[in-house]
Amino acid sequence: MPAPVAIDARRLGQAEHADGLRARNARIAIGAPVIVRIRRSDDGRLQEFRTPYQKAMRVLDALNAIALKDAPDLAFRWFCGSKMCGTCAVRMNGREVLACWEAVEPEMTVEPLRNLPVIRDLVVDRTPYERKVASFEPWLTRPEPYPGFPEPLSHKAIKNASKAIDCISCMSCYSACPVIRLGSLTDFAGPAPLVQLGQTALDPRQDQQQVARALSHSGIFNCVSCYKCEEVCPAHIPIVSGVIEPLKAKAVQLVPQMARHPLAFRAVVARRGRIDPGELILRVQGLRVLAVIPRLVRLLLRGKINPLRTILGSKTPAAGAADRILNKAGHP
């Protein structure tokens, strides 16, 4: 059913900002100056350069031109220049991009990735990420002997792992993740290590005990589902829906003690048809809620919580449908 007024509300802002790849590749005239401000690590300043625009110029072309002409001491990493090695990721105008893949903007601020130690200028230390990946035992261990080439395997069965295999470990998502930015507050491994884990953990041929071991120290339920990882992934991997959520599903099966929140959520919905936040919190936190009684009182006074409804376990008109669909035989 189309809307009466011919405007696409979801696309508001696209025209104003000349969004879209065609527009972004046509923004500047050949020879016009591209203004590039680069974060230098010796004193933290933004150093400004100008370089003439070349046809289809990428951020990396600008960096190379600047290094050649003005700043040979500029430190930035790249190897392949063609979106395969994943080593040239930087932040351009605040957004994580692959320098070799992204078109230049007429004015750009270029900074190193976040959440990783800076070695110099735009070069960051990959070690924290590599260590996390290695801690997941990121290789295939077959519980059954290999049946021979070609082994029975359908694309459908390995679809999610196949998407994860597109990962070039550029760490853009790791930089964009707001939970990783909170540092040691949580044990969340971060989108990039989880995608690497997903390459084998979502592979039907993998030893499930190895998957369980990895998941048990992944902090996976601390993903907030903000999709910032998907927003920056140059390989367009559906990190949340195609990797993290399927891994969460595996954690529910293999390491249920991690999955208190989702299991409690499902229990509440299955019984009542809709969420009762009070019951959810009680199930997840248990007696810990006693520590916040003053807050509960404040919430109660404003009518934000309904302890009676929580305690009585009242069902909603949706309870029947939820029970039918969620409690049918065959659910995990």
Partner 1 sequence: MRILRTQVVIVGGGAAGCYAALNLHRKGIKTIIVCKGLVGKSGASLFAGNLVLSGRTLGNTEEQARNTAEFLIKYHNQFLIDQEWAKRCGAWIASVYYPELEEAGLYFRRDNDGNMVVSPGKIRSIAANIQGNSGVPFMDVRRKQVIKAGIETVEETVVTALLRNADGSIAGVFGLQVLTGEYVVVLAQATILATGYSDRLHARSTGTREMSADGLAMAWRAGASMVNLEMQWWHTNDVAYPPTWQRMQIYPNPMLGSEKSARMVNSEGEEFFDQQKDDPLAFGPYTVQLKALAKQVHAGKARFTGGYYAGFDQCAPGEVEAYTTYAKVYNQLGMDFPKSLIETAVTAHYRQGGIDVDTTTMSSSVPGLYVAGGLGGHCNGLIALVTYDGKVVADGVADNLVNLREPDLPDVQVEQERERLEGLLVGAGTGDAPCAPGELKESVRAVMWEKAGVEKDARSLNEGLEEFSRIRRELVPRLRAKTAVRAANYDWLDAIDCLNMIEAAELVVLSSLQREESRGPFMRRDFPETDNENWLTANLLHKAGNGYRFEKRDYNLSLFRPDFARANNLEVPW
Partner 2 sequence: MKFAYYPGCSARSTCAELNVATHRVAAKLGLELTPLESATCTGARELRAIDPVKFYALNVRILALAEREGLPLMTICNTCTLNLLDAHAAVCDDADLLREVNGQLRDEGLEYRRTTRISHFLWVLYEDIGEEKLRDLVVKPLTGLTVAAFYGCHITRPPGRYGFVDSRNNVALERLATLLGCEPIDYSGRTECCGFHTAAHDERIAIKLTGQHILSAKENGAKAMVTPCPLCHTVLDSFQKEIEKDLGQKLDVPVLHLPQLVGLALGLSANELNIEKHMVNFGVDI
Contact flag: residue 19 with partner 2 (CB under 8 A): yes
Q: What is the DSSP letter of 275?
A: -
What x-and-dash track marks residues 184-223 binding partner 2 by CB under 8 A? -xx----------------------------------xxx
Residues in the chain: 332
CB 276 to partner 1: min, Å? 41
Using CB under 8 A, which of the segments 28-36, 73-81, 127-135, 318-326 binds partner 2? 318-326
Please, which residues bridge with residue 35 across strands?
A: 50, 107
Closest CA to 313 of 264, 290, 289, 279: 279
Contact flag: residue 97 with partner 1 (CB under 8 A): no
CA–CA–CA angle 313, 314, 316 (5° rounding): 135
Choice from 5, 7, 9, 21 touching partner 1 (CB under 8 A): 21
Please, which residues bridge with residue 47 across strands?
A: 38
Contact flag: residue 47 with partner 1 (CB under 8 A): no
CB 238 to partner 1: min, Å? 15
Closest CA to 115 of 99, 132, 102: 132
E strand or H helix at 185, and its extent?
A: none
Q: Quick one: how far is CA 270 from the chain centroid?
A: 29
Choice from 42, 55, 317, 329 touching partner 2 (CB under 8 A): 317
Where does residue 180 rank: exposed (0-12), middle (13-18), buried (19+ CB within 10 A)?
Answer: buried
Q: How many other C-beta atoms can be found within 10 angstroms of the C-beta atom of residue 314?
A: 12
What share of residues in the chain are helix, strand, coil (percent, to 5)? 45, 10, 45
Q: Taking CB within 5 to 8 Å according to partner kind, which of partner 2, partner 1, none is near residue 134?
A: partner 1
Using CB under 8 A, which of the segments 77-85, 251-259, 269-277, 296-304 binds partner 1? 77-85
CB 169 to partner 1: min, Å? 7
Q: Taking CB within 5 to 8 Å according to partner kind, which of partner 1, partner 2, none is near residue 55?
A: partner 1
Contact flag: residue 161 with partner 1 (CB under 8 A): yes
Exposure class string for 127-163: b at 16+ Cβ within 10 A, else e: ebbeebbeebbbeeeeeeeeeeeeeeeeeeebebbeb
Q: Write out the residues near partner 1 by the rule CB under 8 A.
A: 20-26, 42, 54-58, 60-61, 64, 67-68, 72-73, 75-76, 78-87, 100-101, 119-121, 123, 125-126, 134, 137-140, 142, 146, 148-156, 158, 161-162, 165-166, 168-169, 199-200, 203, 205
